[in-house]
Structure 1
């Protein structure tokens, strides 16, 4: 299999780049919320409660939560958005034919705070540069 993207995949790559950008923002935002939640839970022994007896949002010990445990929702949401992030990372990796190491490095964007925001800029630039490289190569008719 040749290295690099194929001309037939350009439309798929552009679509995957769009989805990747959105998923990296969402995953990065939920990762920051998760980090904040972990500080509250393991640093102060409280969870974030929504619509409980102490108001709209409150920091409540886990055993006393009567409303919605927002900390658990943040955990679950980040997990599913990270799956979406990994999926878009995989699609870009497969279509552009990057190295597996690059796939793994981009995957770290969902577990290292602020890295997904950096990759949101870097990965689409590299992907679109790979597409632009196709336009400079001579066409070969089979």
Structure 2
């Protein structure tokens, strides 16, 4: 497996996780704290999170299919982008698991 597959998953996991935390804070500000301007913030972040979550799904599915994960693990990784802060923990676990496989799959340097 190429390192770029893991890297793009990691980037999208962080982006999705940050946007979901911001969306959660925006919803709290909008409905519980009744802060002015939270409505437009929540709308903008919600739209961004929705579109980027689709990109996250594509990259996570690609990573899972190349890593040959079982269906249950694949579903857990896909759903991690919908639970606030879960994407950070799942990304760290997946990265630790796959870094050795990515490093082992790298071609050996050519000796002169």
- TM superposition score normalised by structure 2: 0.81
Matched residue, 1:88: 59
Residues 9, 60 of structure 2: 8 Å contact kept: yes
Deviation digits for residues 16-46 of structure 1 (CA, Å, limit 9, x no counterpart): 1000111111101000011011112222344
Matched residue, 2:19: 30
How much has 1:81 moved relative to structure 2?
1.5
Residues 20, 82 of structure 2: 8 Å contact kept: yes
Distance in 2 (alpha carbons) for counterparts of 1:111 and 1:61: 21
- Tell me if 1:104 matches 2:75: yes
How much has 1:131 moved relative to structure 2?
4.2
Question: 4+ residue runs of structure 1 moved beyond 3 angstroms?
Answer: 129-135
Gaps of 5+ in 2: 107-112
Find the residue that maps to 1:113 and give its secondary structure: coil
Bigger RCO (CA 8 Å, 6+ sep)? 2
How much has 1:85 moved relative to structure 2?
1.3
Instruction: From the two aligned structures, give the one with the greater strand fraction.
Output: 1
How much has 1:132 moved relative to structure 2?
5.5
Distance in 1 (alpha carbons) for counterparts of 2:11 and 2:45: 18
CA RMSD of aligned residues (A): 2.1
- TM superposition score normalised by structure 1: 0.66
Instruction: From the two aligned structures, give the one with the greater helix fraction.
Output: 2
